[in-house]
Structure 1
Amino acid sequence: MAPPSQLVLAASSTDAGVAAWDLRTGSEAIRHRPCASRPRAVAAVAGRFLAAAQIAAGNSAPIHYYHWDKPQVAVKSFPAEPIRALIADPEGNYLIGGGVSGDIFFWEVASGELLVRWHAHYRDVRCLALYDMLLVSASEDGSIKIWDLLTMLDEQSRFEAKTPYLYNFNQHTLPVTDIACFHGAIAVSSSEDRTCKIWSLSEGRMLRSISFPAIIDSVEIDPRSHIFYAGGRDGKIYVTAMGVDASSQGRDDSSILGILDDHSKAVTSLTSSTDGLLLVSGSEDGNVRVWDTRSQQVTRKFKHSQGPVTNVLIVTPKRLNLPPLQPLRKVCAASGEVVPRAVILPNPENDVHIAGNLSSNLLEQLLDAQQVS
């Protein structure tokens, strides 16, 4: 049987696993167990495999890797602290994790090496986003920081920089819940302060602030236009225009273009298809909805479990026999104290070479930049 072209994935904060449904047929394809993850803690690594940071249980808070066609965990890694937010770069060469201490961890996937770790925020890192060579991190302390990865990966550049970050935004008054990046170096953040704020990553300033009638837990930008979706704690998804007068005060009704309303509890996670025609929402009510963004109607309904849905993704799996996945190291190799503490289950025979997996596009850019300077 031919593999599905696209899967809708949904994870929960309870140990109900990661459910995967065929987007075309609506049938459940597989359920990966165990898994219990917070929002923003599950990442598809270039369609090759799934990575999910687990909620701490006692002293254990591993990161799980899953293959698409096997329900069990393929690799368990035990980082130095629980990871609250997890993303991968588009090529799948790196995993970036935000820890409960406010530290950021930068791992190479092929080797498992921890390339760099730095202290970013005073409290938990709740969400991460990438735009080209810029990393955006947001925290429980309400701050958002912009990092130049070329600087962070080079020890000399970090030493010479006035501050390790490019910009530090503190306009949110309560914890940041989500952040998404848009072409043109624009980012949208949401917060428990009931606002979404729009930022220029290139200019380092806030462009607009939009108020909502409920706390916003999730945001997703429409890739086709200057519209974003804001998932509210009231169960509503607000279709919102970015073009709001920056001088406006309080709630600006003109910015809310419409409301998608089919969840009974908070909308915790949103993701869209690459063409922007589909929006997928996950909620604390345990349900997943697939929306046609043109008609603003629900086209598919999935039930994850009795627990809340914390993460939703749309993934096109690459059904390859991967080189062995390596556990993520706890400390940087340069310290001489590498202790992976991993459990690796058997993998298929390695008969497919993944181009670029053993080399780092990011490090190549870093070396090129250093040679030019």
Structure 2
Amino acid sequence: MMAAPLEVLLSSDSGSQLWNCTVFDPHSGSSLLSYRGGNSGARSLTVLGGEYLLSAQLGKNFINVWELQRKDQLQQKIVCPGVVTCLSASPNGLFLAAGVAEAIYLWEVCTGKLLSVLSRHYQDVTCLKFTDDSSHFVSGGKDNLALVWSLSSVVQLDVSHAPEPRHIMSRHSLPITDLHCGLMGAQARVATASLDQTVKVWELSSGELLLSILFDVEIMSVTFDPAEYFVFCGGSDGNIFQVSLCSQSLGREKSFQSDGEGNQVFKGHRNMVTCLSVSMDGTLLLSGSHDETVRLWDIQSKQSIRCLTHKGPVTNAIITPAPANMFLPDSRPTVPLPRFSRHLHASESDSGEPGEVCVRLRLHTQEEEETYLQKADTLNSLMNAVTDKSVFGDCENTKVRIAELEEEVQTLKKMNKDLYDFSSQLLTKPT
């Protein structure tokens, strides 16, 4: 029995009759597992909490769910209000977001509750990505817009007003085909690709455009390497363009030319490149194409190391850290998935007062500590306090504000502890 790889390749196509998606070993190219049932739509294959594999059924209104280690058995179908155009699970495994026509549906995974339906796009949503810290997600659409959403503002209890995006990135002139969020949470950079033949790089925190690169062809897919030295862009002509983000001559806008500065072209695909992904160490590039192949490239030499043939146009191809459960046939998910709700606030009629907040302790977080959202809010208010215009140059003011904030943090911690004690008593009280 050979050791399980650290990283695996996941891919799916729109033509296979036998299986939906396949897991490959990036170093040997051998197929390790196949998941059966249906076909996956583009930009919809996602691993949830290291325990489930999810994908939107091609052209249909439901999401397929497999337990990672039970590949032959579809566990569940999450029925949605329409055809799912893209799907993404938050890296912390707590939230699931899906594009359905021009709306974004956001579910809480532990309860299956539909928390929000966001309708700020004017046409179909084409892609959705979470930041690595799960604090934000970005959506791109056929309306040429990319929207940045703060998760804490979207998960709201006030039903009377719709949440607004944190930023609207509106510099593309044709539909957005793909997007990628870099690392560093709320400080990340985001790349968007479009039919307008450009790739644009943005700062997530301000929504500002940092760089626009013009190509000779429509761009169908985009990704960074983990160090963000390069942005890789998949063309409608089958070429993959590598653009250096570190070159000295980088202005706000540039046209792509291959040169010695790190701007290069990977040649091999015979049709549009629809998906791109880079390995954790930044040495391998994975690409999927409508020419019915997935290719693995050595980034340094630009050589195609491996070509994996598929039965139809490739819809998803990702390199991902190998989840532990994938290769443990006897393991079971620690938490069963609930039934996912199709309607906003559907369970209010049977769960007491409307607007009532249910306190849940998620597995692994049952010790007393602030939630990530509370930590993020505290940090955010501290950062705002330091940069606040009124505080500039006024050291005394800042100290007072920090003291106030620290006091507030203590109060929040106490409230958190009281809530915890109260719910523990409730849970352990003899019935």
Q: Same fold (TM over 0.5)?
A: yes
Q: Which residue of 2 aligns with 1:332?
A: 344
Q: Which has the higher helix share?
A: 2
Instruction: Find the residue that maps to 1:288 and give its secondary structure.
Output: strand
Aligned partners of 1:82 and 1:174: how far apart in 2? 22
Structure 1 CA distance, aligned partners of 2:258 and 2:29?
A: 36
Q: Residue 324 of structure 2: SS of its match in structure 1?
A: coil
> Does residue 355 of the first structure (1) align with residue 357 of the second (2)?
no
CA distance in 2, matches of 1:157, 1:113: 15
Say yes or no: does 1:304 pair with 2:310.
Answer: yes
Q: 1:290 aligns with which of 293, 296, 302?
A: 296
The equivalent position to 1:38 in structure 2, one of 24, 41, 45, is 41
Alignment partners' CA distance in 1, 2:258 and 2:305: 27
The residue aligned with 2:384 is none
Deviations 1:232-272 (A, max 9, x none): 11111111123531154x55656871111121111110111
1:62 aligns with 2:73: no
Q: CA deviation at 1:175?
A: 0.7
Q: How many angstroms does 1:142 deviate by?
A: 0.7
C-alpha deviation, 1:24, in angstroms: 3.4
Task: Please list every run of at least 4 consecutive aligned residues from structure 1 whose deviation after the TM superposition is greater than 6 angstroms.
Answer: 366-371
3-state SS of paired residue (1:142): coil
CA distance in 2, matches of 1:151, 1:158: 14
For residues 97-246 of structure 1, the aligned pairs below 5 Å read 97-100=98-101, 102-131=102-131, 132=133, 133-156=135-158, 159=161, 164-183=164-183, 184-242=187-245, 244-246=250-252
TM-fit CA distance, 1:220: 1.0
Instruction: Give the length in aligned residue pairs.
Output: 351
After TM superposition, give the deviation of residue 367 of structure 1 in Å: 8.8
Structure 2 residue identity aligned to 1:151: S
Structure with the bigger percentage of strand: 1
C-alpha separation between the residues in 1 aligned to 2:119 and 2:370?
Answer: 23
Structure 2: 5+ residue runs without aligned partners? 326-330, 351-361, 382-407, 413-431
Provide closer, same or farther for how the CA distance between residues 130 and 152 of structure 1 changes in structure 2, counting only shifts above 3 A: same
So what's the TM-score if we normalise by structure 1? 0.84
Give the Cα separation in 2 of the matches to 1:157 and 1:199.
Answer: 31
Q: List per-residue Cα deviations over 1:297-340 (Å, max 9, x = no partner).
A: 222221122x10011122302214103222322113456489xx
Distance 1:308 1:185 in 2: 31
- The structural deviation recorded for 1:174 is 0.9
SS in 1 for 2:152: helix
Structure 1 pair 225–148 and aligned structure 2 pair: CA distance change class (3 A): closer
Alignment check: 8 A CA contact 2:94 2:109 kept: yes
Q: Is this contact kept in 2: 1:65–1:75, CA < 8 A?
A: yes
Give, in angstroms, the shift of residue 360 of structure 1: 11
39-48 vs 229-238, greater mean Cα deviation:
39-48
Write out per-residue CA displacement over residues 124-155 of structure 1, whole angstroms, 9 at most, x where no aligned residue.
11111222422211101111111111111123
Give the C-alpha shift of residue 179 in structure 1: 0.6
Q: Which residue of 1 aligns with 2:421?
A: none
1:303–1:4 distance in 2 versus 1, CA, 3 Å:
farther
Q: Secondary structure of 2:153's match?
A: helix
RMSD between superposed Cα atoms in Å = 3.0
Report the Cα distance in structure 2 between the residues aligned to 1:284 and 1:164, rounded to whole angstroms.
36
> TM-score with structure 2 length normalisation?
0.74
Change (3 A) 1:140 1:104: same
Structure 1 residue 86: deviation in Å? 0.8
Q: Which has the larger radius of gyration?
A: 2
* Distance in 2 separating the partners of 1:52 and 1:318: 20
